[in-house]
A and B are shown apart, each in its own frame.
Chain A
Amino acid sequence: MAEEVVLLDFWPSPFGMRSRIALAEKGIKYEHKEEDLRNKSALLLQMNPVHKKIPVLIHNGKPVCESLIQVQYIDEVWHDKAPLLPSDPYQKATARFWADYVDKKIYEVGGRVWKTKGEKQATAKKELIETLKLLEKELGDKPYFGGESLGYVDVAFIPFYSWFYALEKCGNFSIEAECPKLIAWAKRCMQKESVAKSLPDQQKVYDFILEMKKHFGIE
């Protein structure tokens, strides 16, 4: 049967980027549909009635929602190429734990960095650096979180790198100064075509954030 894969997406979404990377790693051809989040398509509302959010992966007409669930699905369906999750249950659990940690922390804390100012922003910046340092510690001396090759945690986390420049400009700080090993990891990931193709240009993301700030009346 001819496989039909569609990804409903929004270009600056780090969550969408995760699925883009996973599909690229596996060499899967798919149709990429860009959504206008202020005017969601009937297809999006039909395929994700519960959350009405992107990304949505549609495989042979059946929707899979939530980015990390999509990445695991992609890994399990196309299991013979570029495995993202290890086969050992304990290593798998560790990978799931850290991907969950990225999910719980980075988006929310990062959001506070660009959405707030003054004391609130200072607190958010401090929290973000603490979070990144913990991830940096988990990476250790490994080239990737997945070990010798890109893995589940790398895919979960690297999309946020495309937002770093915007966060640094908004918060007036340098992530590289605080977490040099993490930035080295990010640049290593960006050497991979699957990642480079899936992440937007950092300046473009910054311009997008500036527009969002204007839209929400945040200085």
Chain B
Amino acid sequence: MGDDEEVKVFGMWASPYSRRVELALKLKGIPYEYIEEDLSNKSALLIKHNPVHQKIPVLVHNGKSIPESLVILEYIDETWRNNPILLSQDPYDRAMARFWAKFIDEKILSTTRKVSFTTGKEQEHAIEEVTEQLKLLENEVKGKAYFGGEGIGYVDIVANFLVFWFGNLQEALGINIFSQHKFPFIFEWIQKQLKIDMVDESRIPKDKHLTYIRTRLAAFKSASK
């Protein structure tokens, strides 16, 4: 990579989508400028770089904007071909990796939002749903050191939300869906992930995160009264 490469990430410290992009760049050793966005007051630059969704994360590489975290991850892997290679060259393995990444985003993280923002029977139902979804992921990592191949890859990065973010969320919510007892293989995978410097370094500050989640939940509750 040359000296004239300019990489920027518009992100938000508590967002698992934002964190996964930073993790990929860190793992590949790509220097970048990080711009923290206040989601209640989005910057003109963010809106310029992601006019369609106006969301974080956005990667800007030499002035070219790429939104959507999964699109960004593939772009990073295709642009910077050094180790770790995130996606296999084999089309079937790639299809499986994309399948599980999509499952994590469209099912697990989506249901997790329901768990956070509903109460009573609706929340109970969402908790059951996400537990079933996590079981499928547990089955996928069973007997493997990583979701992909011989080292950290695309699905491990997408599943990074399980390493810090999900545990903090359930603590703030006062629930216990996700435990070593119920998900021994995912927990084993987490231990291996924590041994990777860049993963450990991308730890979300726990107290700050708990406070943030509690504030958001309280705001949501009072807004929905």
Which residues of A line the B interface, CB within 8 A? 50, 59, 62, 64-66, 69-70, 72-73, 76-77, 89-90, 92-94, 96-97, 100-101, 134
Contact = CB atoms under 8 A, between A and B. Distances in A.
B95 A64 contact: yes
Contacts of A100: 68, 70-71
A70 B79 CA distance: 23
A31 to B, nearest CB: 19
Interface of B: 52, 61, 64, 66-68, 70-72, 74-75, 78-79, 91-92, 94-95, 98-99, 102-103, 136
A96 B103 contact: no
Contacts of B92: 59, 62, 64, 73
Given A65-B99, A69-B102, A97-B66, A89 B75 contact: yes
* Chain B binding surface SS class: helix
B80 to A, nearest CB: 10
Nearest to B71: A96
A97 B94 contact: no
Given A64-B95, A76-B91, A101-B52, A90 B102 contact: no
B66 A69 contact: no
Contacts of A94: 66
Nearest to B92: A62
Given A73-B91, A90-B66, A96-B74, A66 B102 contact: yes
Nearest to A99: B71
A24 B133 CA distance: 34
Contacts of A66: 98-99, 102
A92 B102 contact: no
A65 B136 CA distance: 15
Contacts of A72: 94-95, 98
Given A93-B74, A100-B70, 8 more contacts: A59-B92, A72-B94, A77-B91, A90-B64, A93-B71, A96-B71, A97-B52, A97-B66
Contacts of B95: 64, 69-70, 72-73
Nearest to B53: A101
28 contacts: A50-B103, A64-B92, A66-B98, A66-B99, A66-B102, A69-B95, A69-B98, A69-B99, A70-B95, A73-B91, A73-B95, A76-B91, A76-B94, A89-B78, A89-B79, A90-B64, A90-B75, A92-B74, A92-B75, A92-B78, A93-B75, A94-B66, A96-B74, A97-B52, A97-B71, A100-B68, A100-B71, A101-B52
